[in-house]
Amino acid sequence: MTAPDKQHTFDVFDEKWRRARTWAIATEADYRKWYLTRYGYETPDGLAAFLKGRRRILEAGCGQARDSKMFAELNPHAEIIAMDQSPQALEVAAENLKPFPNCQVVREDITTFDWDTSFDFISCDQVLHHTPDPAATLKQLFSHLMPGGVLNFFVCRKKGAARDLADDAIMEWAKKASYDQLWAFAEEVTRFGKALHGLGIADVSFNGVVYPDLQRLVHNLLFRCWYNPNIDFQLSVSSNFDWFSGNPRFNAEEVRDMIATLPEGSYEVTRFYEDDASISVSLTRFR
């Protein structure tokens, strides 16, 4: 697929956050657990130990600031900046962070913000791949990381050929679709996922991998049909809505090439994690 158009991405996500105002709260438990696993902290205590002593934290592309809230709970002494471009998201983020005086919500474009400020921890989770030039965005974030600081970032991982082909074809269609058309399509996709889940066909094995159920196998390998039975149906719809609006994916080699554009000798890759959905990386800056 072609690189995302920045304004289109801004507009789509602002629309998503307008329609899915309870997303962060409803998905908090699942996504916190996933964050802790992917970046190697494993438990809240593990993340708290990492955050101890961090003074300035940036969540780049915070959405509704679910992760900033987690960081603030575990380190109430750090200055935490929750940055996003979406007024709809930031309105909810401000409410979510109201109990935490050490948090500030800022409207900025993470690809271009120009501050005389460095951070000792930057988290850009589930965002980098949405930018028109992820390598350039990575450099931009790295330039605001102080020596000894850590940058966590995530990109979506390429799936099988059939899944990627279907995704790309629908994403090209979605560029011309109205929000209502795309939302209606996302509803149908989510109904399909719900129907597969409802069959109750569990522990499906394929190529040495055991999937929890048939829905997850189809979703991971053949066709995007994300569905979470533990949250409101329309929130599952919102996830499919933003996915098909444009979502580039990468393999491990492409991510390593992206990292290699950073100044030589200035960083260490301290974690490189892959699962079915993602590639999540932690970098430590030397100088």
In the predicted model, is pLDDT for residue 121 greater than 70? yes
Q: What percent of the chain has pLDDT over 70?
A: 100
For range 111-115, the mean pLDDT: 95
For range 54-78, the mean pLDDT: 98
For range 225-254, the mean pLDDT: 96
Residue 1 in any domain: the answer is: no
Q: Give which of 115, 109, 5 is closest to 60, Cα–Cα.
A: 109
pLDDT score of 287: 82
Full residue range of the structural domain in which residue 268 is found: 6-158+249-285
| 262 and 169 both lie in a single domain | no
| 48 and 182 both lie in a single domain | no
Q: Give which of 241, 53, 264, 278 is closest to 152, Cα–Cα.
A: 278
| 108 and 58 both lie in a single domain | yes
| 185 and 60 both lie in a single domain | no
| 145 and 175 both lie in a single domain | no
- Provide the pLDDT confidence category of residue 155 given band limits of 50, 70 and 90: very high
Q: CA angle, corner 186, sides to 182 and 189, nearest 5?
A: 140
pLDDT score of 222: 94
The last residue of one of the domains, among 228, 244, 260, is 244
In the predicted model, is pLDDT for residue 2 greater than 80? no
pLDDT score of 241: 97
| 78 and 178 both lie in a single domain | no
Q: What percent of the chain has pLDDT over 90?
A: 97
Find the radius of gyration of the CA atoms of the chain. 19
| 187 and 124 both lie in a single domain | no
| 129 and 228 both lie in a single domain | no
| 206 and 113 both lie in a single domain | no
In the predicted model, is pLDDT for residue 1 greater than 70? no
Secondary structure (DSSP) of 151-216? EEEEEEBP--HHHHHHHHHHHHHHTTS-HHHHHHHHHHHHHHHHHHHHT--EEEEETTEEEEEHHH
Task: Convert the pLDDT of each residue in 93-107 to its tens digit.
Answer: 999 999 999 999 999
Residue 259 in any domain: the answer is: yes
| 116 and 258 both lie in a single domain | yes
| 118 and 260 both lie in a single domain | yes
268: which strand partners? 284
Our count of domains for the chain comes to: 2
For range 11-21, the mean pLDDT: 96
CATH number of the structural domain spanning residue 134: 3.40.50.150
| 268 and 144 both lie in a single domain | yes
